């Protein structure tokens, strides 16, 4: 036979277990409701005709709108990036005046304007300028007759021994100045 205190401890444990089970049951009901609501919304969205919203500008017709990704770059720089005309569509961008939107320069184009850093060493190090604005120091092999760019910041390096070969190429991705 159990003592009275032992029985009360067991009853409290059962009540606690019951409340946990009740909470779990409520959560499952909420999830089920959310799932059915989502399915209903998806079904309604699939049944409704879809429209492609185009960005509206003030003072220009649709045919006049040609947007670059950046002022210094016309195209996208990755395959999964949407062009600027298509990216800013939908209900959040109904009356967007693109002339007022920020258009930062493309860092890829800016770094490709940097001249090649010529060196006599076969291995150079790059730390991106050091300090808090820099990056971890890496070592770049310049033995090959090509322009070697830093993997972090994109600064170009080349060995002085390969200068004639690089200058004889019809075009390079960095200026050879």
pLDDT, average across residues 18-46: 60
Domain assignment present for residue 173? The answer is: no
Confidence (pLDDT) at 53: 45
Q: Evaluate whether 149 touches 155 at the Cβ level (below 8 Å).
A: yes
Q: For residues 44 and 60, state if they share a domain.
A: no
pLDDT tens string 117-136: 999 999 999 988 888 888 99
Q: Evaluate whether 126 touches 134 at the Cβ level (below 8 Å).
A: no
For residues 106 and 68, which has the higher predicted lDDT (pLDDT)? 106
Please tell me the distance from the alpha carbon of residue 125 to that of residue 50, in angstroms, as a whole number.
Answer: 54
Residue 92 predicted with pLDDT over 90? no
Q: For residues 42 and 61, state if they share a domain.
A: no
For residues 54 and 26, which has the higher predicted lDDT (pLDDT)? 26
Please tell me the distance from the alpha carbon of residue 166 to that of residue 13, in angstroms, as a whole number.
Answer: 80
Q: Token pair for residue 140?
A: 């770049």
Q: Token pair for residue 17?
A: 């277990």
How high is the mean pLDDT of the chain? Answer: 75
Coil/strand/helix, residue 156: strand
Coil/strand/helix, residue 56: coil
For residues 37 and 152, which has the higher predicted lDDT (pLDDT)? 152
Residue 20 predicted with pLDDT over 80? no
DSSP 8-state secondary structure symbol assigned to residue 94: T
| Dihedral over alpha carbons 121, 122, 127, 128 (to 10 degrees) | 80
Residue 158 predicted with pLDDT over 60? yes
Q: Token pair for residue 88?
A: 């800013």
Confidence (pLDDT) at 50: 46
Query: Of 104, 122, 145, which residue constitutes the final position of a domain?
Result: 104
Please tell me the distance from the alpha carbon of residue 29 to that of residue 41, in angstroms, as a whole number.
Answer: 18
Domain that holds residue 37: 1-48
Q: Evaluate whether 176 touches 166 at the Cβ level (below 8 Å).
A: yes
pLDDT, average across residues 146-153: 94
Q: For residues 117 and 145, state if they share a domain.
A: yes
0.75 exceeded by pTM? no
Q: Evaluate whether 70 touches 102 at the Cβ level (below 8 Å).
A: no
Domain assignment present for residue 139? The answer is: yes
Please tell me the distance from the alpha carbon of residue 58 to that of residue 63, in angstroms, as a whole number.
Answer: 13
What's 135's domain CATH number?
A: 2.60.260.40
């Amino acid at each position: 036979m159990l003592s009275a205190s032992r029985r009360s401890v067991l009853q409290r444990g059962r009540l606690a277990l019951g409340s946990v089970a009740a909470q779990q049951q409520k959560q499952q009901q909420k999830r089920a409701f959310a799932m059915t609501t989502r399915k209903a919304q998806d079904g309604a969205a699939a049944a409704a005709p879809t429209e492609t919203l185009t960005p509206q500008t003030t003072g220009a017709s649709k045919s006049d709108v040609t947007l670059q990704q950046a002022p210094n770059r016309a195209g996208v720089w990755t395959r999964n990036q949407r062009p600027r005309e298509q990216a800013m569509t939908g209900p959040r961008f109904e009356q967007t005046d693109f002339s007022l939107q920020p258009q930062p320069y493309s860092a890829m184009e800016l770094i490709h304007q940097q001249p090649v850093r010529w060196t006599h060493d076969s291995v150079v190090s790059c730390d991106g300028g050091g300090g808090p604005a820099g990056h971890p120091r890496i070592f770049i092999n310049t033995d090959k007759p090509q322009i070697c760019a830093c993997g972090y910041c994109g600064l170009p390096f080349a060995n002085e021994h390969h200068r004639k070969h690089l200058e004889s190429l019809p075009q390079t991705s960095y200026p050879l100045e």
